[in-house]
Structure 1
Amino acid sequence: MSKSITINAEDILDQVKLSLKTYDIVEAIITRQVIANAVAKAGIKIETEELQEMADKYRLMHQLHSAEDTHAWMKQNNLSLDDFEELVYNHALSTKLAVHLFGDKIEPYFYEHKLDYDGVVMHEVIFDNKDLALELFYAIGEGEMSFYDVAHQYIEDKELRRKGGYRGILYRQDLKPEISAAIFAAKPPQVIKPIVTAKGVHLIFVEEIIERQLDNWLRNKIATDLFNEWINRSLSQFKSVTNIEIVQITTQNAS
């Protein structure tokens, strides 16, 4: 025998409070207000074609590849068609505002921070013993063994050992400063002299240095980063000059 459960608005509000999510919700509401004020000040409008394009991108972002997928997702999130259109509309406003505020700042920002976007393809083995790491470094240099041999013999993690210590493509911000400095001074392909950190002794094979180009993906990332920084600054300013009062909300169920 199936049972039905009724959840009303007050139940949801209570759960928000009990989950300690009230501050997050309030901050999201303030963010919407900050964006709305900036949009109004800039006189930004969303045309029908732009809204449709953003709706297509929004569905792709959430992997909603068909009308059935979209309806199921809306039902799961308790959204009406009007709610979905408002989500897309707000997303379009934020995107257009970001372009308005930072469209001409993306390229200068990239060239100012270009080194931060350079990447490295690297392999790594971490030792506890510096003398052992140095011994193996010189052995590789003299051709007595390969870096792969070292990785296969000294890496305990099975999957990492199978990959020869491959760490993938990493960026400067992913690496400790002392490691980053040595890696980006290397001339690949090169095994660099062991580096001691709090984590251990790092023996690193620098396979390739990747100089990042300003493609569409990176343009969007920089615009998003700049926009998020602007949002955080605006939130701080907004909250510093605004009294925020959370009113106790109650609901009355219809009989």
Structure 2
Amino acid sequence: MSEVLQVGNKTIKSGEIPILLKQYGLWTQFVRGVIIDEAIADISLSEEESRRAVEEWRLQNKLTSLEDRDAWLQSQGLTIDQMEEMILRPLRVEKLKQAKWHPKADLYFIERKQSLDQVVYSLLRTQDQGLAWELYYRIQQGEMSFAECARQYSKGPESQTGGLLGPVALTQPHPQIGKMLSVSQPGKLWRPQALAEWFIIIRLEKYLPAKLDDAMRRRLVDEMHETWLQEQVQLVSKSQSVESPAPSKPL
């Protein structure tokens, strides 16, 4: 039977669902959900884990009595089993992520480390080449501080912070600036460099190497999971697009 859903006076056929999901901007979210459900199908929770998660959720949502719970279920059009599945799903996803990606975090960290390292640096920019060299020599000789020069003469938003920027990942600044910072020692003052319409002066203040602590491991696990999930969504979407029949041409 092709008619699967009645919404008001509209009957929606199964073949129309993908089209409507895309029109409503829900296709990607739907596919993500299906992929995750398939991936966590074999992930189990203990009775204690399930009980604690449901209890915490009820307390957070102030559903402290059975009457409150039943009223909420009715308002959402859910059964108790569906509610519990909704509550436990994030916990099962977390278990999936830890099982699938946690063992790979060390190697991934090594691969990503250069882009995870952070720097604090000072930047000054001007379109006047002569002024750039004058300010460089003033800073170098200690006649003015970098912060004073940036506040008075820099033409970018960094003038509000005395030229100080960061901490930021080495990949965040312009590639030319990132390259200079990557080979700098803290305190190194670079001579004026041409960059687009600007002449810039930069100085590395601090180099903050990334560390594989618990917070970083958590971030990398989430990142690997999201990358995998996006790849799976693209594969499904591409496959669905290829398999969808082309619209018939009017006679």
The two structures share one fold, judged by TM-score above 0.5: yes
Distance 1:53 1:189 in 2: 53
Which TM-score applies when normalising by structure 2?
A: 0.71
Deviation at 1:180, TM superposition (A): 0.6
Match of 1:146 in 2: 145
RMSD: 3.7
Give the CA deviation at 1:132: 1.7
Pick 1 or 2: higher relative contact order, CA cutoff 8 A, min separation 6.
1
Please give the alpha-carbon distance, in whole angstroms, between the structure 1 residues aligned to 2:130 and 2:53.
Answer: 58
- Separation (CA, whole Å) in 1 of partners of 2:54 and 2:202: 45
Residue 39 of structure 1: aligned partner: 40
Matched, 1:210 2:211: no
For the structure 1 residues 186 and 45, does the alpha-carbon distance in structure 2 shift closer, same or farther, using more than 3 Å as the test?
Answer: same
Q: Decide which structure has the larger Cα Rg and report it.
A: 2
- Partner-residue secondary structure (3-state), 1:105: helix
The one-character-per-residue Cα deviations of 1:61-81 (angstroms, maximum 9, x if unpaired) are: xxxx9655999xxx9xx7589
Distance of 1:172 and 1:147 partners within structure 2? 21
Alignment match, 1:90: 89
Aligned to 1:108: 107
Q: Deviations over 1:69-108 (max 9, x none)?
A: 999xxx9xx7589676544422222222222221211110
Partner of 1:237: 235
User: Offset of 1:54 from its aligned partner?
Assistant: 6.3
State how far apart, in whole Å, the 2-side matches of 1:232 and 1:185 are: 34
Asked whether the equivalents of residues 189 and 207 of structure 1 are also in contact (C-alpha less than 8 Å), the reply is yes
C-alpha offsets along residues 179-214 of structure 1, whole Å, 9 cap, x if unaligned?
Answer: 111112111123222332226222223110001101
Unaligned 5+ runs, structure 2 = 1-6, 9-20, 246-251
Measured after TM superposition, the shift of residue 241 of structure 1 is 3.5
Structure 2 CA distance for aligned equivalents of residues 69 and 125 of structure 1: 56
4+ residue runs over 6 A deviation: 52-57
Structure-2 separation of matches of 1:143 and 1:196: 23
Residue 174 of structure 2 corresponds to 176
Gaps of at least 5 residues in structure 1 are 1-8, 11-19, 60-64, 246-255
Check whether the contact 2:146–2:163 (CA below 8 A) recurs between aligned residues: no
**Which of 223, 226, 248 matches 1:225?**
223
Query: How many angstroms does 1:147 deviate by?
Result: 0.3
Are the equivalent residues in 2 in contact too, given 1:183–1:192 (CA < 8 A)? no
| Equivalent-residue separation in structure 2 for 1:56 and 1:133 (angstroms) | 64
State how far apart, in whole Å, the 2-side matches of 1:155 and 1:79 are: 56
- In structure 1, what is the equivalent of residue 31 of structure 2? 30
What is the CA–CA distance in structure 2 between the aligned matches of 1:138 and 1:236, rounded to whole Å?
54
Q: How many pairs does the alignment contain?
A: 219
**Alpha carbons of structure 1 residues 33 and 120: separation in structure 2 relative to 1, 3 Å:** same
CA separation of 1:156 and 1:182: change in aligned 2, threshold 3 A = closer
**1:10-35: per-residue Cα shift (whole Å, max 9, x none)?**
6xxxxxxxxx9736312111111111
Task: Output the CA distance in 1 between the equivalents of 2:52 and 2:127.
Answer: 54
- Cα contact 2:102–2:217 (8 A) shared by 1: no
